[in-house]
């Protein structure tokens, strides 16, 4: 499904992935995943130009297509709708800027950790500190989201799995302890926490 001029899509059930235009050189880029209730194609409202990105259902899904003319009418009649759309666009821009910064300054492992935290926030089912990411994620999908090869993503995911930071089954990823993964993202080594006076104290059983 190509994102075309003059249409905005609203996901009903199921999940979809939006891929960037691919020229055949370098790794494929995954721009985002969308689940139930998510909106995509919203930039068509602003400039009306054709999009080069493509959306693909990754499981059985239904999509509600809303004409641009209908949404433009809502923007004029409902200031609260315009504010909500502006917040949505702003949040997505912030995520894109964060990913660009990661491309420049973060290791592949750090980028995998951060994208898993993002997906846990946007597509996670949480029970206490455990989060199940409710998307069918392949290693290639993770690689496409952070701009690395599949092999690099597989190595990073394997390291996180070995450290007990993620659990993986076929096309599913779970985070058993969200706080531990967040500490990994901020650079605090797993097994160490700041003690009184700022000194690091170990939390494992090896002393």
Residues sharing a CB contact under 8 Å with residue 165, sequence separation 6 or more, in sequence order: 113, 175, 176, 177, 180, 181, 184, 190
Average pLDDT over residues 72-100: 88
Contact 119, 135 (CB under 8 A): yes
| Tens-place pLDDT, residues 30-40 | 888 887 788 88
Residues sharing a CB contact under 8 Å with residue 178, sequence separation 6 or more, in sequence order: 117, 120, 126, 129, 130, 131
Give span(s): CATH 1.10.10.10, the chain: 106-185
pLDDT above 70 as % of the chain: 76
- What is the structure's pLDDT at 36? 79
pTM over cut 0.75? no
Strands (E), 12-156: 16-19, 30-34, 39-40, 54-57, 63-67, 124-127, 130-133
Residues sharing a CB contact under 8 Å with residue 4, sequence separation 6 or more, in sequence order: 44, 50, 51
- What is the structure's pLDDT at 183? 92
Contact 112, 157 (CB under 8 A): yes
| Domain 106-185 in CATH 1.10.10.60 | no
Reading the block at residue 22, the tokens are 């691919």
175 — pLDDT class (breaks 50, 70, 90): very high
Q: Sign (positive/negative) of CA torsion 36, 40, 45, 46?
A: positive
Residue 149 burial class via C-beta count within 10 angstroms: exposed 0-12, middle 13-18, buried 19 and up:
middle
Instruction: Please report, for residues 120, 159, 175, the alpha-carbon distance to residue 168 in angstroms, rounded to integers and kept in the order given.
Output: 14, 12, 9
More confident position, 46 or 182 = 182
- What is the structure's pLDDT at 10? 53
Average pLDDT over residues 172-184: 94
CATH architecture of the domain with residue range 2-102 = Sandwich (2.60)
* pLDDT surpassing 70 at residue 65: yes
Contact 190, 163 (CB under 8 A): yes
* pLDDT surpassing 50 at residue 186: yes
Instruction: Please report, for residues 160, 164, 198, the alpha-carbon distance to residue 193 in angstroms, rounded to integers and kept in the order given.
Output: 18, 17, 9
Give span(s): CATH 2.60.120.10, the chain: 2-102
| Tens-place pLDDT, residues 132-172 | 998 888 999 999 999 899 999 999 999 999 999 999 988 88
Side-by-side strand order, sheet with 63-67: 39-40, 7-11, 63-67
Query: What does the buried/exposed string (b/e) look like for 84-104 if buried means 16 or more CB atoms within 10 Å of the residue's CB?
Result: ebeeeeeeeeeeeeebeebee
- What is the structure's pLDDT at 130? 95
């Amino acid at each position: 499904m190509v994102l075309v001029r003059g249409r905005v899509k609203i996901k009903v059930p199921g999940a979809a992935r939006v891929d960037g235009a691919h020229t055949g050189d370098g790794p494929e880029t995954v721009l985002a995943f969308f689940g139930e209730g998510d909106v995509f194609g919203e930039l068509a409202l602003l400039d009306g130009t054709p999009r080069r990105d493509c959306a693909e259902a990754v499981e059985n899904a239904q999509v509600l297509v809303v004409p641009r003319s209908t949404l433009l009418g809502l923007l004029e009649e409902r200031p609260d709708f315009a504010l909500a759309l502006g917040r949505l666009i702003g949040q997505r821009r912030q995520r894109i800027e964060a990913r660009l910064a990661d491309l420049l300054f973060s290791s592949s492992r750090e980028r995998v950790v951060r994208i898993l935290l993002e997906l846990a926030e946007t597509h996670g089912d949480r029970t206490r500190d455990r989060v199940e990411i409710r998307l069918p994620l392949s290693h290639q999908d993770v690689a496409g989201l952070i701009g690395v090869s599949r092999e690099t993503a597989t190595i990073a995911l394997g390291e996180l799995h070995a450290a007990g930071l993620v659990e993986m089954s076929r096309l599913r990823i779970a985070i058993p302890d969200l706080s531990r993964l967040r500490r990994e993202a901020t650079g605090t080594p797993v097994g160490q926490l700041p003690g009184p006076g700022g000194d690091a104290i170990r939390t494992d059983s090896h002393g």
